Chains A and B, each alone.
Chain A
Amino acid sequence: MFNIEFGENGEILCSGRLDAAQCATAEEFLDSVDGSSTLDFVNLEYISSAGLGILLKTQKRLVESGAGLKIINVNNHIHDVFRYSGFHSIFEIEAQ
């Protein structure tokens, strides 16, 4: 199960598992985001390459308009996925 919604302070809260079966939900939500935003992964357990593709697509769109995504509270496993994908050089990422 995966869920994505705005938090009380405007951050984007992601929870559950962002896999190939759930990435359409993430894509629909993130396509509606404008301006710099913070993704809070404190309750996100898992991400695969399908989820990475959605993050990359969103980051490219936002950076073109002078904005970008910051990703916070990343667990160790997702941190490894980001590291192997070279995402640390294209996103601002904070571990848990």
Chain B
Amino acid sequence: MQRKFTRSFDALGDIYQFAEDVFASGNVEDAVRFPIQLALEELYVNMVKYYPDNDNDILLDVSASDGKVTVTMTDFDVDPFDVSAPRNIDTDLPLDSRVPGGLGLHLVQQMVDNLEYKYHDRQSTVRFTKESG
């Protein structure tokens, strides 16, 4: 199922519901729903944060089959930014060395499968999957 969403944090509620509608039709387990929703939020927030004045909506394609979910997110008229590149986050730092921020893409890379990034004609396309087990 495909749908375009407004470039705003306020769209997150509609995005969760959109994903839940797909999950309901695809027999998706709770263990898959959480990481998919987290990845959708983190990647969407990045797209909004770095191009707040871009007038283009963001296209989401979410499908579910036999408990496996596949998501494709497309952002239009943007510069390249490879979200699949290693983040080099040190999660062992003590509290006084920690700085809020920077964990979003690290979490996505830890929690979903087959994270891919493509860039063509000023379009960024992110694709990932998640299945139980």
A-side residues, CB < 8 A to B, are 17, 19-21, 46, 48-50, 52-54, 56-57, 59-60, 63, 77, 80-81, 84-86, 89-90
Summarize A's interface: helix, strand, loop or mixed: helix
Closest residue of chain B to A23 (Cβ to Cβ) is B9
* Given A84-B111, A85-B107, A90-B94, CB of A19 within 8 Å of CB of B101: no
Which residues in B have their C-beta under 8 angstroms from that of A60? 95-96, 98
Given A48-B104, A84-B106, A85-B103, does the pair A21, B10 have CB atoms closer than 8 Å?
yes
A53 near B12 with CB under 8 A, answer no
Return 13 A-B CB contacts under 8 Å, by A number: A20-B12, A48-B104, A50-B104, A52-B100, A54-B100, A60-B98, A77-B34, A81-B111, A84-B106, A84-B111, A85-B103, A89-B94, A90-B98
Are A81 and B38 also in contact (CB < 8 A) when A49-B104, A49-B107, A89-B92 are? yes
Expressed in whole angstroms, the Cα–Cα distance for A81 and B34 within the complex equals 10
Q: Is B91 an interface residue (CB 8 A)?
A: yes
> In the assembly, what is the distance between CA of A48 and CA of B49, in Å?
15
Total B residues in contact with A, Cβ cutoff 8 Å: 29
Interface: B24 (CB within 8 A): no
The chain B residues found within 8 Å of chain A, CB to CB, are 9-10, 12-13, 16, 30, 34-35, 37-38, 41-42, 45, 91-96, 98, 100-104, 106-107, 110-111
9 A-B pairs besides A49-B102, A90-B94 with CB distance below 8 A are A20-B45, A21-B9, A21-B12, A49-B42, A50-B45, A81-B107, A84-B107, A85-B103, A89-B94
B110 and A56 within 8 A (CB): no
